[in-house]
Amino acid sequence: MSLTPPPHRAMILAAGRGSRLATLTATTPKPLIRVGGSAMIDLALEQVLAAGVGEVVVNTHHLAERVEDHVHRWRLPNLRVSREADLLDTGGGVRRALRWLGLSPFYVVNSDLVWLDQPGLALRRLAAAWDECRMDALLLLAPTVNTKGYSGNGDFVMQPDGRLLRRPASTMAPFIFTGAQILAPRAFVGTPQGAFSLNRIYDRAAERGRLFGIRHEGDWIDAGTPERLHLASEAMIHVRQGKLL
């Protein structure tokens, strides 16, 4: 059963220190680093709003005031900021924001994603693939072999029905996690207060056979390293100029 209408709420993860971009993030919060002329968090906001989201939560920590000042310039009527005095990691950050995310499944999106396809399309595809009876988490995955700027071993193996398994040790998995997903609030039942990674949620869901994925059909770049940031900026400029990648 797809989510009709699609999720009305989304969380953008924007609290990290951006250690892989340390030469830049010492003075500029990672979400405000520019890609092709736009702050990364603006690209994330464009995606979730284009997908029909009406309420957005942004978590902050590193150089929090600057991120908050920036997102408030959007003048969104239903924007919440979850400032973390202590960094809570991805899972702890989402858990803290559940009070605003409600009782229905919601989007969670990394702030350093650069999508190069139609705004909102990938998130709408996630919503169309959601099955409330079978899923606690649905991840947007990209093929390992043709992802721009990626040289790792991948994250997941996808079964024919969409269920996900972790990459076996010492092997290469065919898919990597893009950083966009739908999560059900029930996935956080029994999780601890404080810092923990969303990987804990994925592993628990996988153990129960409730972790699923879909293949991303467009282009994307994780702009979390200097090399990928440069690649993402060039790609975004080409897209805005209407050129082929």
245 residues of the chain, pLDDT tens digit each: 566 679 999 999 999 988 878 778 888 999 999 998 899 999 999 999 999 999 999 999 999 999 999 999 999 999 999 999 999 999 999 999 999 999 999 999 999 888 888 899 999 999 999 999 999 999 999 999 878 778 789 999 999 999 999 998 889 999 999 999 999 999 999 999 999 999 999 999 999 999 999 999 988 888 878 888 888 888 887 777 765 44
Q: What are phi and psi of 66, to 5 degrees?
A: -70, -40
Domain boundaries, the chain: 9-240
- pLDDT number for residue 239: 75
Q: What is the CATH number of domain 9-240?
A: 3.90.550.10
The answer for 110, left when phi > 0, alpha when psi is -120 to 50, beta otherwise, is: beta
Q: How far is CA 137 from the centre of its chain?
A: 13
Q: What one-character DSSP code corresponds to residue 170?
A: T
Q: Residue 178 and residue 171: Cα distance in Å, rounded?
A: 19
- pLDDT number for residue 163: 98
Q: Residue 59 and residue 48: Cα distance in Å, rounded?
A: 15
Grouping H, G, I as helix, E, B as strand and the rest as coil, residue 189 is: coil
Q: Residue 10 and residue 49: Cα distance in Å, rounded?
A: 9
* Measured CA distances, 74 to 46, 70, 78, 89, 171 (Å): 10, 8, 11, 25, 44
